[in-house]
Amino acid sequence: MRKILKDFIYYLEFKENKKYNTIISLKNDLEQFINYFAEKEIDDIKKIDYLLLREYYNFLKNANFSIASFNRKLSSIKKLYKYLKEINFIDENISIPLENLKPELKEIEYLTEDEIEKIRMEIDGNNFNSIRDKFIFELMYSSGITVAELLSLGEKNFLIEEREIQFFKGKKKKYLFFSERCKKVLNEYVSIKKEKFKDKNNEDILFVNNSNQRMTDRSIRRIISKYSEKAGIKKEVSPYTIRHTFCVIMLKNGMPKEYLKHMLDISNIDLLSGYERSIRKESL
């Protein structure tokens, strides 16, 4: 079996051009597979029938690996068997019926209306940083925008009276909407930004620090974390928490999940199901 593994690794490296880390991971998983059967004095993969393969499957399940690690190890075995079937070394791919473990459903963390108000009270202020931070929070909370999208914005992406944001995500034009409260803070922020930086104000970069440099993902996360801690919120609050909050509120207010999925480009169906579970749990 070690000769088979060697040939398979060669195939992955020079025929499939797999990344080094991927090859090392596969090699380690398959060496564990080979060693398991070597202890049972089985050194020919053709002698491993479905029952023996199922035995190894159960061994992995009971070995306290994480679900992600288990699924990766199973994927490595399936890749090997697929390769062996393609080169006609085996007659049947007996790994096909073996199924991945499903990840445990995680509770969606989102903010209550009371927690939102507590954070708003902590951001209250009239200087540049306070107004900017307030705008960041209100924009994320009322539109569901991601941090990456937020940092890509310039002043011209906003149709202020329509309370609409227009921008491109790849080649696709995307539209989001924001609240009346957010509109008010947007006007305040644009005004104080122009006043602070005067002729150096860059309309193409909306969110900047005190040095007039584009803010980073990390700085946005720090801002959200800082005010939530000051507000005494016990749960860990991140930009994802605010986006989850937006989604839960939209669904609670009757927005069809298909529209929410399309509007925010949500590809993870389990996430939408998580929002629905959270709403059902809240109503109990």
Phi, psi of 165 (to 5 degrees): -115, 135
62, pLDDT greater than 70: yes
**Token pair recorded at residue 185:** 């803070």
CA dist 201 and 183 (Å) reads 20
Count the neighbouring beta carbons within 10 Å of the beta carbon of residue 162: 12
105, pLDDT greater than 70: no
Phi, psi of 144 (to 5 degrees): 80, 15
CA dist 274 and 248 (Å) reads 9
Q: What is the mean pLDDT of residues 27-33?
A: 97
- pLDDT per position as a tens digit, 148-158: 999 999 999 99
Q: Token pair 């050194």 is at which residue?
A: 43
- Write down the CATH number for the domain with range 113-283: 1.10.443.10
284, pLDDT greater than 70: no
Q: What is the mean pLDDT of residues 153-169?
A: 96
Query: Mean pLDDT score of the chain, rounded to an integer?
Result: 94
The fold adopted by the segment(s) 2-86 is DNA polymerase; domain 1 (1.10.150)
Angle 239-252/269-283 helices, nearest 10 degrees? 70
CA dist 82 and 79 (Å) reads 5
CA dist 48 and 41 (Å) reads 11
CA dist 281 and 275 (Å) reads 10
135, pLDDT greater than 90: yes
Q: Return the pLDDT at 73.
A: 96
103, pLDDT greater than 80: no
Count the neighbouring beta carbons within 10 Å of the beta carbon of residue 24: 12
Q: What is the mean pLDDT of residues 15-27?
A: 91
CA dist 175 and 52 (Å) reads 54
Q: Return the pLDDT at 40.
A: 95
Domain boundaries, the chain: 2-86, 113-283
